[in-house]
Amino acid sequence: MASRRPIFLDLFVIRLPPAALVSILHRVSGALLVLAIPWLAWLMGRALSGPEGFAEVASILDHWVARPILVLVLWAPVHHLLAGLRHLALDLGLGLERTAAQATARLTLLGAAGVVVLLVLLLRVLA
């Protein structure tokens, strides 16, 4: 017997619930962390090689292309940590109710964004 439910497959219109978005972004942030390791290791090694290397790294990081990449590199560990703590709490049976799960998902998204904004502002003040 065929289902009478409508099929809606436009992926650009489907609205994911906050918990699904947090879960997907948790995976994305983990992958980004792994992919950023070689670049960050090279930058660190170059910056520590001497004054010329430090100046080179400073000029690379001052470029407009590097700014969004740096924000993503700041966002990835923050989001990954908050989402990981949320998943750990869910595994322990905490926050499984629908309203609590939605609230913690929104809190994770807003918390990660808020911490990144604070870090960017702090880095601007210290620079």
Residue 1: per-residue pLDDT: 59
Dist. CA 75–CA 118, nearest whole Å: 11
pLDDT band, residue 5 (cuts 50/70/90): confident
Domain assignment of residue 4, yes or no? no
Mean of all residue pLDDT scores within the chain: 94
Domain assignment of residue 12, yes or no? no
pTM of the model: 0.86
pLDDT in tens, 23-32: 999 999 999 9
What percent of the chain has pLDDT above 90?
Answer: 84
Domain assignment of residue 101, yes or no? yes
Per the annotation, does 80 bind a ligand?
yes
Domain assignment of residue 47, yes or no? yes
Structural domains of the chain, count? 1
- Alpha helical stretches, state H, 48-97: 51-62, 66-91
pLDDT band, residue 15 (cuts 50/70/90): confident
Closest CA to 62 of 70, 52, 51: 70
Tokens of 54: 């430090």
| Site of tokens 């080179």 | 56
Domain assignment of residue 11, yes or no? no
Domain assignment of residue 9, yes or no? no
Domain assignment of residue 3, yes or no? no
Q: What is the CATH number of the domain that holds 28?
A: 1.20.1300.10
Domain assignment of residue 7, yes or no? no
What percent of the chain has pLDDT above 70?
Answer: 98
pLDDT in tens, 27-46: 999 999 999 999 999 999 99
Say whether 67 sits in a helix, a strand or coil: helix
Torsion sign (Cα): 124, 40, 108, 11? positive
Dist. CA 93–CA 19, nearest whole Å: 15
The boundaries of the domain holding residue 23 are: 18-126
pLDDT in tens, 53-83: 999 999 999 999 999 999 999 999 999 999 9
- 124 vs 75, residue with greater confidence: 75
State the Cα angle at 75 between 99 and 13, rounded to 5°.
Answer: 55
